[in-house]
A and B are shown apart, each in its own frame.
Chain A
């Protein structure tokens, strides 16, 4: 469904993030929704809205439930790329094959950076598990942290 919506231009690109994105690189962790970052086409008003995604999914019989849309019994939370880091994470996401279906997942280094930026307790735990289990590219991570002014936060969380 995500690929179809992208092909139809409902959003220009997507990448899976959040706990399921992290689980691609780490041991499985309990989560109840699928977080999907999306690059939305710019509207003339300049406002970013998820309405077009909700409408496209509603037309296919997928209804909203709280802050998610239930797609094939999976609550999917769409998050517009709200800053330069998320835009970069979506642009540089990895292409994977999930049981014959192409999908896109944010790079582990970007997930680390997003956690640092978001800064909740669960983000701290996620950074710890990604550091421990994901094969992080240290040069790539350093460049991301520098580009998005997250080096100090990284030091604070890891030293």
Chain B
């Protein structure tokens, strides 16, 4: 398993001190959050994935409502919502009077702008924590682990240069290459076809000009976190892929990607990714919880 220190030490050597400090802090923080989520997921292991997603949707909704309640002008939101309702009814009640209808419509647009403006402060406050939650959930719900005995691809994207450098792939004993590496020069990409003998979490290593970079692979395991990519890091990338540290800046490798199969949920007649049910469930939970939590949204 990749350690957090590996990438960060190298990153910090290439970047201004302050930025590397931020990245260090961020890596530690994300690592902490990652462990916290691991703990949550371990506790909820007996539950089906959709139930776990529902629990997170409810928690997200409750957390967001509390933030909305404390960071927005609740009285103003209530007033603006009433005004929106009044304008909608005005259009219906006085539909015989075009002047009233037009005026109501203009009033409605004004009220809607006010409503969105009122929603902006909580949106600003919620952005960072929700991105953190999203990053975690994406790592855990976006992909399924690869299956033992089935091929999967490992791709490395390399930085600009005249020719593709020699990159060696060092595999643990339970993983083996099923085809020679494919080098796509125009794309500056090298692909390997790999198979796993058994389930587990493994680290494969790319060796390039004496530099060794690892990438975690989850095979048929019930590990909660599956990060498909490891990329050259910045703050946003770290938030989005929190379970592995970013690749060092200035290195030749820009990204290592494992082609995991997508994880789909059965929702009635549909098979959908995690984001749609999560968004719908948070909205439903928020609507149900807004009264008990006294939050106007």
Do A and B share a complex? Answer: no
Which A residues are within 8 Å of any B CB, using their own CB? none
Which B residues are within 8 Å of any A CB, using their own CB? none
